[in-house]
Structure 1
């Protein structure tokens, strides 16, 4: 990469785009947020506008941008640059790399948002070996990085623990199954189970639990034990050295971290084998508002498509 070359990364969510500019030293030199929009036309337009606005605000030109990476929810064909079934964005089938790249004249690469965040978190914390990234937000998803490479598995679903059914008597999940991990610790599922108005229902649940509300106490227990189950599955299935937790629920701060660690310890009380895994010591919580997802998208955008390994440093 030549001196002054800029890589742009975009984390496209259901309501916002988090955009970062990364220099040749892997340092973030600019960041902004803007709306993501609804429907294929608006999503592409807002992605293009985010890159242009980021360049203007950060003091570089589009000629200095060597790549743009986009992390986006949905089924992503990374080789083709196409996203399918991004239902939270109103996107059914979109040649995102083709349309956005043509409008800006810059090479685009597209990746699933959680996989991009996994890569970003691994590089930001200098993780060697294996690491899982567990996204706790409206839904629950995970990605795995091994030796600087996104591990996809045979069909691209490696690490996806949100739709693993763990309770045949549990709540019905949006995927059609009963008792998925996401029904316990996904923000959307918890909000539906709570059923009370409020801008931040999971925070409201924790506040009400601290006041002794019986329904809130049960849902708080679901949150912590569901997240602990996700950690346990990731470690037992892939033996990752660390599980880094990110996503919107990290805004709950110390209460989320303490609750997950306590649930992991409680769940291992009756098992010497589980205690030997020291699961609570393998967990790390990203700070709320971490740029890991957008940073990972920038790395994905610059990656060699034939190797997909991003060098560190």
Structure 2
């Protein structure tokens, strides 16, 4: 029986596909543009699998299974409310399992990124949080070596935690949410300029714009607060920062740690937790979510 596993990370703009062989060796990787809509997502997934199996010189029938990470709410292999893919509801595991003839597992994209992070850390760390700091803000959780989804699949949705009742109102209609401070969409919302992107805010901050600098400081505070929430509620061993805004690399990491050091100076208890040392950056360029998808248990959605 083949041990080859295929993992797909389906995002709003691309499909990142990997094929893992024996001992989880990376045998092939492909990145292809995604087509929006239910039919487009299915076609994009098939094209990515065709490409990665061709590169590795194997057939889809040779694979032990395919794991897929995708935005939205996922339950029983059914994807709902994947808004950035124009998918309202899609029974993705059933559709692709029938087409490929191999087991297909489907999971939320941040959750598979957490699995990938745990894999890259060698599995020696018992509990980790993968904090996705990108267009939005959410965490994937591995607790005692197992993916934790929560009672209704909402575990890790910490972007909706309000940290300032008088803060800016976010996309969810609530004031001062973590996501409003520590995400690209939240930074743009605060900036309030049509057609802007998070990179525009950061560029303006480096050029000395006072409002942009305030938003950038809020990003650092928001990421630090997210780490604090995860450590104080779950006491995870590591918090890995991933997502688009981690392109800032050590500017983001050092900024968050600087905020944490300020708290530690006033609280011996927080200092004892060594939160700053628990933060690591996701390896640049690694297909973390696709690897995590390939590590999903086959046979479950």
Instruction: Please give the range of the TM-score, normalised by the shorter of the 2 chains.
Output: over 0.9
Q: Which residue of 2 aligns with 1:103?
A: 99
- Report the Cα distance in structure 2 between the residues aligned to 1:135 and 1:87, rounded to whole angstroms: 17
Q: Which residue of 1 aligns with 2:220?
A: 224
Matches of residues 83-102 of structure 1 in structure 2 within 5 Å? 83-102=79-98
* SS of match in other structure, 1:295: helix
- Report the Cα distance in structure 1 between the residues aligned to 2:189 and 2:156, rounded to whole angstroms: 25
Q: Which residue of 1 aligns with 2:159?
A: 162
- Report the Cα distance in structure 2 between the residues aligned to 1:221 and 1:290, rounded to whole angstroms: 28
Asked if residue 121 in structure 1 is aligned to residue 117 in structure 2, the reply is: yes
Give TM-score scaled by structure 1 length.
0.91
- Report the Cα distance in structure 2 between the residues aligned to 1:205 and 1:277, rounded to whole angstroms: 33
Q: Which residue of 1 aligns with 2:38?
A: 40
CA contact (8 A) 1:83 1:96 kept: yes
Q: Which residue of 2 aligns with 1:192?
A: 189
CA contact (8 A) 1:48 1:103 kept: no
Q: 2:27 aligns with which of 24, 29, 32?
A: 29
CA contact (8 A) 1:123 1:148 kept: no
Matches of residues 197-208 of structure 1 in structure 2 within 5 Å? 201-208=197-204
CA contact (8 A) 1:203 1:252 kept: no
Q: Which residue of 1 aligns with 2:259?
A: 263
Q: CA deviation at 1:255?
A: 1.3
- Report the Cα distance in structure 2 between the residues aligned to 1:98 and 1:17, rounded to whole angstroms: 19
- Report the Cα distance in structure 1 between the residues aligned to 2:241 and 2:20, rounded to whole angstroms: 23
Structure 1 portions without partners, runs of 5+: 309-313
* SS of match in other structure, 1:249: helix
Q: Which residue of 2 aligns with 1:150?
A: 147
Give the number of equivalent residue pairs.
300
CA contact (8 A) 1:185 1:226 kept: yes
Q: Which residue of 2 aligns with 1:68?
A: 66
Structure 2 portions without partners, runs of 5+: none
Q: CA deviation at 1:229?
A: 0.6
- Report the Cα distance in structure 2 between the residues aligned to 1:41 and 1:99, rounded to whole angstroms: 10
CA contact (8 A) 1:152 1:158 kept: yes
